[in-house]
Structure 1
Amino acid sequence: MSQWDVAQVRAEFPILGQTVNGHPLVYLDNAATSQKPRAVIERLDRYYRTENANIHRGVHALSQEATAAYEAARESVARFIGAPEARSCIFTRNATEAINLVAATWGREHIGAGDEILVSEMEHHANIVPWQMLAEQVGATVTVIPINDRGELDLDALPALLTSRTKLLALCHVSNSLGTINPVEQIIPLAKAKGITVLIDGAQSTAHFPVNVATLGCDFFVFSGHKVCGPTGIGVLWGKPDLLNAMPPYQGGGDMIDRVSFAGTTFRQIPERFEAGTPHIAGAIGLGAAAEYLMGLDQQALAAYEHELLTYATEQLQAIDGLQIYGEAAHKVSVISFTLAGIHPNDIGTMLDVDGIAIRTGHHCTMPLWARFGLEGSTRASFAFYNTLAEVDALTASLRKVQKLLG
């Protein structure tokens, strides 16, 4: 048993105390979005109650306070992902926009006809579609790293895929559907040795364990605030400063400019270069609060507890006849995708909701992954550090009831 005090942690998340359909809420949809602790909720409330103003260039007190809070959040985010310089952390709407930003700026300047963009078979659509769009525009090709039946990358196939034509490796740190933790620490050096630029999608990893972009050695790293106990509509693109400053702006408008005239416009350096217009000020401040909250937790105890949840849930679900789990990697986070023989995932999700259990059904934005397993989708239960073993029992009991009624 871990030393994690889950009752104390749950007390920090107001939403977890409510009932749904007359049952205590069992929230097992954390890979889609996490719940928010009181520290984040209260920080957002304080901003709107006492600091609300537009940032940068305002000389009045509220603008100065809001600007200071916004830039302090950038510092918090930098510490959260181990970025050596806060200015290399660009606020975006989410990881999806961050990837699109790189595709539309760095990608258009460095990827051309005949080049290859390497992704994996387990990628989220957000790390597939932008590269497909770019490839179609410039005449490049998207190539794929296959996975094995356990849901792990086929590392034996990787060296042959890293060719002289490969200009970018775009890889998820953790699979949102399988929970697989990819060995990016081993893979990134292989790509860099061949001069390949590397983007890591950290939307799922940042929710489960500490990340240090400086140690990883990647060129770009992206994540979403709403998956790490922060607000929706805010995310981060981290990039090496020399790369970011050499990239053309993604959008034009206020705050990203140096000087504007009808004869021509010059642009600022990072981070303002990629933050055109009024940003999601409250969202950034809330994300900063979420980063501080997570960094204040005992990460070793958190990881041990989530592993305990994963192990227990896997054992309980495997005991259900006809239930098959997809994603059995040796190293994975607390995500379990499964099918139940003869029952559609949507029917499972609907009936579990009657018991107050929130899970995710469908393709989870990984349609190519499920096609590889011959499926259209699955049911996914994703656990966070505030979930309990009793909630695993509730899930198991509800699934047995579904099976009895529909199986």
Structure 2
Amino acid sequence: MSERGSSSASGPRRGAEEATERTQVQRASEARSSAVGKDASEPPCNEVLTVNEQDSQEGAEVVAKEVDVKEAETDVQVLEEEQEGEEEVFWCCGLSLAGQFGVRLNQRALTEGVIIKRLAEESKPPSQELDVLQNEVIRKSPFIVDLVCVVHVESCKHLVLENCVFGDLTHVWKARGLLTISQTMRLAAEVSLGLEALHSQGYIHGDIKPENICFDVSGHAKIIDFGLSQVVQVATRAATRSKPWAVVRGSGTLNYASPEVLSREAHRFECDWWALGVLLFECISGLTPWTAPVDDLQAICDEICTQDVFFQDVFDSIPEIVNLIRGLLQRNPAQRFGCSGLCGAFKAHPAWALAATADAGIVSKVWSWSLVQRRELPILSEALTVSLQKNFSYTTLP
């Protein structure tokens, strides 16, 4: 569980010199890191498998999983802050997994391995992660991590996810430094399209941050970790317990939480767009927008809820991106960029044109959202010397 806080009276703004003491490596080490991803060039394996110890010798039984949720009439769902049980993420050899359980994997999974995520046996509220990853519309998005299959060992559920060899965004920062402006805008565009797919099906991610943005072998972004996701109604107020119109969430990662989340107000998809604004700011400056000391959680919370964002000198030459970030960091969710989805005004913002600037090793193309959707504008072009696999210990399932 990430740090949480609540809003209160505002405190004095800290100077920009305090912010410079917070390096990106220090900030990244404070947040939990997980990384998985997929390569769109490989055909997905669409089966969801349930494997018990007694049938593991003969292969996996294909079983459709349904989530049994008791419906109740409600307009806003208040979510519990605590979760029971523990999640575990580790890398596993694809050949070992296939040999042990008879799971059919594609060639990339066999050669590069897979990421295994052991889900907590009991959680409050119940995790939406499996529902998100099994959703047919979401699975078609090239910017969402691919679910290879699900294996059950006795009563323990394990998600088998494709490996993302470039690691998460913090891993990339440590290995090669901050991204260029054009790379940053291509990253923001791909994350935006991934969020669009999630939101179209009623899912709020709830924890967009650098640790939850990974890169596949082709250098494209993948959104991961839907453990805090919640589902809401998309276009109707016919609210039920399983699909309320809005939620009140008390969890997430403090530095990326929106004011309405910290104030425990009913909210919908707008909180994800706020987090994208923080992410975009951090990609350019190496720091989050908040200048309060990193160990003063209440001061950070107060700053998020009450203070205007201070833009350092590095933003002076990119006023278009400053305008985009200001729009994403609007405290009023109804005025926030993205609150109406990826509408024409959002997609036509002049800041996106900066994504077409040529970088070393990347051929510049005319900017268009269709090129992004077709994955023709990669973010990373050079292989990293440090593989994500080295962040995980080799483990086999029981």
Normalised to the residue count of structure 1, the TM-score between the two structures is 0.28
Q: Which has the larger radius of gyration?
A: 1
Normalised to the residue count of structure 2, the TM-score between the two structures is 0.28
Give the helix-richer structure, 1 or 2: 1
